[in-house]
Amino acid sequence: MPTAIKESSPPHWLARILAVAVLAALALYIASSAKPSTLGNITEACTLAVAAVALNLLLGFNGQISIGHSTFAGLAAFTAGYSVNFWRWNPYVSLAVGLVLCFVLGLALGLPALRLKGPYLALVTLAVAFVWPTIAAKFLDKKVKASTLKGTKLQPPTWTGLTNSRPDRAVFLYWLAVVILVLAYVIVRNLRKSRIGRALVAVRDNETAAAVMGVNLKFTKTVTFGISAAIAGASGWLTAARLDRLDENSFTILNSIKYLLALFLGGAATLAGPIVGAFVYYFVDDYLKTHAPTWHWLPGPISKGPVASFLLGTIVIIFVFIAPFGLVGFIKDQVRRVFVVTPRPLKQAVASPELIEHTSDATAAESSAQD
Amino acid sequence: MNALLEVRSLRAGYGAVQVLHGFDMRVNEGEVAVILGANGAGKTTTMRAISGMIQRKGSIVFDGEPITRTPPHEIVRMGIAQVPQGRGTFTDLSVADNLRAGAYVHKGIHIESDMREWYDVFPRLSERREQKAGSLSGGEQQMLAIARALMSKPRLLLCDEPSLGLAPIITQELFAILQRLNTENGLTILVVEQNANLAVKIAHSVFVLETGSIVASGTADEIANDDAVRKAYLGY
């Protein structure tokens, strides 16, 4: 029998506080001890995680698929690169403007999403992801291509005590990525736990029922698309902050597929899923890319050609069979065998029989008044 | 009697296909009204037309206000709640969150006390309040769908075939609860049903719908004594 923990009881709170403390300590420890290259990897994983969190809001909670999220990341990245290099904008202003642009483009893409569902919506967003590199190439000359936020443009503020040296920059970008990831997580978490979040899931589970409960379908679906697009834009801005150069192939459909993979590996429609998935995906991919080509024990045809992608694909297929609800779903199932969180007891509803009487009296009085 | 819902020459359908061919209907405040009809008669379409889910022509007046052009999310705010056919519970949300979602149009703090009120009426929902709605039995899901609709504090409850796919004993329990909501809470209810026997028992007025037109209407007694209707729908 699993041990029962009451919701919001001291042990439950203790477990929550402990989890946050461990994560915070881990983040600090990494910042102080990791090599710049490792920090760079973690920053990249965080960037992927932000995009996966964005997609989770749209696909996991609202049930709208998008294979076009790479476009939003690209839009924000190029907006930042262009405005900072050619108009001398503050990098953070370029972030804000990029997010607004992504939100608007997301709203616009949300409009066809009102009529299209599932594979059809996937097709439309796929087309957008396909078109984006061409559009990007048209509008970018060589100078713009090379312009990211790298170098002197995005510097650690002086109060951090960090200089603009390579190791210090790595630490700065790492914290920037962590902060944006935490913000994205908190935004999606608070949305999910609120009245709006219940409406999102309601729309996903049953549109008709959601509509007859008073949820405005058009508004909910388009605004969700917009918010998700803006969060994906934050991920694109982080990419622009980290890379030396961007070109039209920096944000292709492959990026969108990565976001999807990270989301489903971690567990769609769970809050932690996209983050766990992004980190696992990134580091497994990274590990395979560096090590797999040297594994000579692999049978002949496999060891030739792109071994890493082959192995990664195989792992994903096996994983989906073992844990169809993602890593977080899998872990939750295991934890449930040891601990279960039982709901808070209802406050004793002493007043409720009176309440019912009261309501009926009121309604009766109302109807007799109208008679 | 005060008409809460008044429908005049209602026409509605899907795209080029017209399903409802213009009928009149009136539901008085504090009544249980039942629409009987076979598959394809237009029962669900009538419900969808009233709750604003489809394009409709003619006139629908709720509590003196025309709602023929009002979008569904505003109709809910005016006091019409619909229990959709096939329950439509949000399977991935907990029972409690389903109820909270039902109170979407109310941002107030009364939500939790309203929930306790409906937990008293549906004790099994209270036992399962933290379970996902998808894990409930069909009967429990139907109860949940009704409780969820009630969370919006409606003056008119539309129930679309509540007996669909339920065991006879559960259906009886369900109709007993609907009747209780009517007599004790003074709720006006419009039920669409194929299960005529049970529905007519709790009804004040009955409408018989055939291929998009009302072919007979009257009080429950009148309909129960109408030979043609009795043969077709009550089976004796």
Chain B contact present for A206, CB below 8 A: yes
Instruction: Report whether pLDDT(A356) > 50.
Output: no
Q: Residue A152 — pLDDT band, cuts 50, 70, 90?
A: low
**Percentage above 70 pLDDT, chain A:** 88
Closest CA to A264 of A255, A272, A273: A273
Q: Residue A371 — pLDDT band, cuts 50, 70, 90?
A: very low
pLDDT at A8: 76
Interface contact A214-B104, CB threshold 8 A:
yes
Specify the range with the lowest mean pLDDT, choosing from A9-13, A172-176, A210-214, A215-219: A9-13
CB A280 within 8 A of CB A265: yes
Facing residue for B116 by CB, picked from A215, A352, A367: A352
Kindly report the nearest CA distance between residue B234 and chain A, in angstroms: 30
Residues A90 and A83: their CA atoms lie apart, in Å, by 8
Between A11 and A42, the higher pLDDT residue? A42
Residues in chain A within 8 Å Cβ distance of B49? none
Q: Which of B92, B146, B157 to mutate to test the interface with A (most CBs of A within 10 A)?
A: B92
Residues in chain A within 8 Å Cβ distance of B185? 356, 359-360, 363
Chain A contact present for B126, CB below 8 A: yes
Question: Mean pLDDT across the stretch A256-280?
Answer: 94
Kindly report the nearest CA distance between residue A216 and chain B, in angstroms: 6
pLDDT at B49: 95
Closest CA to A85 of A240, A249, A251, A250: A240
- Sign of the four-CA dihedral A206, A208, A210, A215: positive
A315 assigned to some structural domain? yes
For chain A, how many residues are written? Answer: 371
pLDDT at A361: 43
Domain extent, residue A108, equals 34-322
Residues A70 and A51: their CA atoms lie apart, in Å, by 9
pLDDT at B223: 86
Our count of domains for chain A comes to: 1
Specify the range with the lowest mean pLDDT, choosing from A7-11, B86-90, B152-156: A7-11
Q: What is the mean pLDDT of chain B?
A: 91
Question: Mean pLDDT across the stretch A28-52?
Answer: 93
CB A122 within 8 A of CB A67: yes
A165 assigned to some structural domain? yes
Q: A234-243, B106-115, B227-236 — which one is most confidently predicted on average?
A: A234-243
CB B47 within 8 A of CB B29: no
Instruction: Report whether pLDDT(A365) > 60.
Output: no
pLDDT at A270: 92
Chain B contact present for A201, CB below 8 A: yes
Question: Mean pLDDT across the stretch B11-35?
Answer: 93
Interface contact B116-A208, CB threshold 8 A:
no
pLDDT at A302: 66
Q: A158-172, A300-314, B191-205 — which one is most confidently predicted on average?
A: B191-205
pLDDT at A142: 61
Which residues, numbered 57 to 76 in chain B, qualify as contacts with chain A under a Cβ-Cβ cut-off of 8 Å? 71-73, 76
Interface contact A352-B148, CB threshold 8 A:
no
Instruction: Report whether pLDDT(A125) > 80.
Output: yes
Q: Residue A357 — pLDDT band, cuts 50, 70, 90?
A: very low
Question: Mean pLDDT across the stretch A262-284?
Answer: 94
Kindly report the nearest CA distance between residue A357 and chain B, in angstroms: 8
Between A10 and B146, the higher pLDDT residue? B146
A368 assigned to some structural domain? no
Chain A contact present for B28, CB below 8 A: no
Interface contact B104-A201, CB threshold 8 A:
no
Residues in chain A within 8 Å Cβ distance of B73? 211, 214-217
Q: What is the mean pLDDT of chain A?
A: 85
CB B191 within 8 A of CB B199: yes
Question: Mean pLDDT across the stretch B55-79?
Answer: 94
| Cβ neighbourhood burial of A157 (10 Å; 0-12, 13-18, 19+) | exposed
For residue B94, give the DSSP letter: B
Instruction: Report whether pLDDT(A260) > 70.
Output: yes
Q: Residue A305 — pLDDT band, cuts 50, 70, 90?
A: low
Q: Residue B15 — pLDDT band, cuts 50, 70, 90?
A: confident
Structural domains in chain B plus CATH codes: 3-88+156-234 (3.40.50.300)
Q: Tally C-beta pairs within 8 A across A and B.
A: 117
Facing residue for A195 by CB, picked from B82, B89, B104: B104
pLDDT at B224: 82
Q: Which two tokens stand for residue A291?
A: 């090590």
Chain A contact present for B97, CB below 8 A: yes
Instruction: Report whether pLDDT(A133) > 80.
Output: yes
A336 assigned to some structural domain? no
Instruction: Report whether pLDDT(A301) > 80.
Output: no
pLDDT at A9: 81
pLDDT at A146: 61
Please give the helix or strand (H or E) that residue B36 lies within, else none.
strand B32-37
Q: Residue A363 — pLDDT band, cuts 50, 70, 90?
A: very low
Q: Which residue of chain B is at minimal alpha-carbon distance from A360?
A: B185
Kindly report the nearest CA distance between residue B106 and chain A, in angstroms: 10
Residues B106 and B119: their CA atoms lie apart, in Å, by 18
Question: Mean pLDDT across the stretch B71-88?
Answer: 92
Residues A258 and A278: their CA atoms lie apart, in Å, by 9
Chain A contact present for B53, CB below 8 A: yes
Around B152, how many Cα atoms within 13 Å sit in the side-chain half-sphere? 32
Instruction: Report whether pLDDT(A234) > 50.
Output: yes
Interface contact A213-B81, CB threshold 8 A:
yes
pLDDT at A245: 81
Q: Is A163 strand, coil or helix?
A: coil
Instruction: Report whether pLDDT(A360) > 70.
Output: no
Interface contact B101-A346, CB threshold 8 A:
no
pTM for the model: 0.87
Specify the range with the lowest mean pLDDT, choosing from A177-186, A341-350, B149-158: A341-350
* Sequence-ordered alpha helix ranges (H) in A158-215: 166-193, 195-205, 207-211
The label of the residue with tokens 């040296």 reads A165
Interface contact B92-A201, CB threshold 8 A:
yes
Between A355 and A188, the higher pLDDT residue? A188
Q: Is B23 strand, coil or helix?
A: strand
CB B45 within 8 A of CB B20: yes
Q: Residue A342 — pLDDT band, cuts 50, 70, 90?
A: confident
Facing residue for A202 by CB, picked from B101, B116, B130: B101
How far CA B107 is from CA of A173, A195, B40, B110, B153, in Å, comes to 40, 8, 38, 9, 12
pLDDT at A248: 79
Chain B contact present for A186, CB below 8 A: no
pLDDT at B235: 67
Q: Residue A141 — pLDDT band, cuts 50, 70, 90?
A: low
User: Where residue A132 sits, what CATH number does that domain have?
Assistant: 1.10.3470
Q: Is B64 strand, coil or helix?
A: coil
pLDDT at A145: 59
A122 assigned to some structural domain? yes
Query: What's the pLDDT tens digit per position in B173-228?
Result: 999 999 999 999 999 999 999 888 888 889 999 999 999 999 889 998 888 888 87
Residues A248 and A254: their CA atoms lie apart, in Å, by 13
Q: Which two tokens stand for residue B186?
A: 């003074």
